Amino acid sequence: MNYAVILAGGVGSRFWPFSRELEPKQFMKFIGEESLLQATIKRLKGVISPKNIYIITNNIYFYELKEQIHKFHIPEENIILEPQGKNTAPAIY
């Protein structure tokens, strides 16, 4: 059984000035009508079941993330909220 973990909690500081804390890169639409997050999930279609996709984010992005992933039928309990942003390695751990 395969699983995917998507990190979507960053504030986009390294992608400034395009990405800001209230509009981080994972929610931006660069190509077409899908955000980077949605395009990532779409690439997993047929490879990993939505119930096996987990997304790590922080509290301030919970509702935006929930809205963006709704059409993919990823269970809400698969959204993992970081208590505090500490970069990539702790999020993966």
> Residue 47 and residue 2: Cα distance in Å, rounded?
8
The dihedrals phi and psi of 34, each to the nearest 5 degrees, come to -110, 145
> Residue 43 and residue 2: Cα distance in Å, rounded?
14
Grouped pLDDT means (10 residues each) for the chain, 93 residues: 88 55 74 92 95 93 92 96 68 58
Question: 8 in helix, strand or coil?
Answer: coil
Q: In this predicted structure, what is the pLDDT of residue 13?
A: 54
Q: In this predicted structure, what is the pLDDT of residue 14?
A: 58
Q: Taking the complete model, does pTM exceed 0.85, yes or no?
A: no
Q: In this predicted structure, what is the pLDDT of residue 3?
A: 96
